[in-house]
Structure 1
Amino acid sequence: MKELTSQQQEELFNLLKLRFDKHTSRHQGIRWADVETKLEVESAKVWSLHQMETTGGEPDVVGFDENTGEYLFYDCSPESPKGRRSVCYDRDALESRKEYKPANSAMDMAAEMGIDILTEMQYRELQQLGSFDLKTSSWIKTPTAIRKLGGAIFCDRRYDTVFVYHNGAESYYAARGFRGALKV
């Protein structure tokens, strides 16, 4: 099982608490002590949060699901996480490239990290909490019908508006990565 050392976990919790306290508008009505209590018994999820952090995602609590009792974390970095850029959409797209292949795909990286790529709805929810991806863009979960036709979708924010675009799933750019979500 993927676990952090006690020192790594303590450092991560301190960093998450600082971010939580700095951005209280993202999680009104949620207490850090409750989040931390939940994290202390979810070592696999803590490992995933650490992966989100080390790849530049700056994860933060953005909600609580009353039905499941889970806290929701999104990547809240101002731009698409630096450690997750220059990737195509998924494994099929990666394997379809004959030359100049990227090192990885967004879907594979997310699976390795134990997180989900944001859906369009989640991306729009994130944009209600601030202004993200003003210079970059982020792959989002692509509907199966679009993916079967070779495409994938991504979003960004320009002109104070969230835009949803399409591209071939095999494409990749230095300014495009992906944002993740994790339920704890």
Structure 2
Amino acid sequence: MKQADRRELSPEQRNELLNVLKARFEKNRNRHQGLDWANVQAKLEANPDKLWFLDDMEMTGGEPDVVGYDKETGEYVFYDCSAESPKGRRSLCFDRAGWESRKEYKPENTAMDMAAEMGIELLTEEQYRELQQLGKFDLKTSSWVKTPAEIRKLGGALFCDRRYDTVFLYHNGAESYYAARGFRGSLRV
């Protein structure tokens, strides 16, 4: 179990997570061509709070992996790279306002609240489409994506999936939730 009072993994948890991330990094080199694991690991070890967030991504089924490096900020970019929307982050309304608008059968949480609790950001539509260039994701599930304020003000929220070898962007009421819809996150380290 995680230590509730501090956002720091035990040495054993840290090593286990780093081993999982390294194995995934090496197995999926197409996601991060030209990047070196030793540099990623050094950055992670210098930012133990980010390891905590990556562990949350891993524990909820996201299978986080490096998908890029921002030369301007010197940060590595991680996305959830699980084949389907993370299992531990499904059946969620889009946000708190959507959740509160439900009269009955409210889910346990919302995508926006859970992402904030985990210290990650929902993918944007653009990031979702970038992810789909690295593989085929959400063939059976769908994922909420960040929604423009003007759409959200009208009660809507956006989600994406991949069907017929094409990435689709859809809308739904923010109060809706489905067993096959979750969210994918990003984290910069």
Q: How many residues align?
A: 184
Structure 2 residue identity aligned to 1:139: W
The residue aligned with 1:2 is: 7
1:85 to 83, 87, 90: 90
The residue aligned with 1:47 is: 52
Deviation track 1:38-75 (CA, whole Å, cap 9, x = no partner) reads 00011111100000000000000000000000000000
Cα distance in structure 1, aligned partners of 2:99 and 2:45: 37
- Percent identical across equivalent pairs? 72
1:165 to 153, 167, 170: 170
1:37 lines up with 2:42 in the alignment: yes
Q: TM-score, normalised by structure 1?
A: 0.99
Structure 1 residue identity aligned to 2:127: Q
| Secondary structure in 1 matching 2:105 | coil
| Secondary structure in 1 matching 2:171 | strand
1:147 lines up with 2:152 in the alignment: yes
Gaps of 5+ in 2: 1-5
Shift of 1:3: 1.0
Deviation track 1:112-163 (CA, whole Å, cap 9, x = no partner) reads 0000000000000000000000000000000000000000000000000000
Gaps of 5+ in 1: none
| Secondary structure in 1 matching 2:182 | strand
Shift of 1:167: 0.1
The residue aligned with 2:110 is: 105
RMSD: 0.4
Shift of 1:96: 1.1
Structure 2 residue identity aligned to 1:107: M
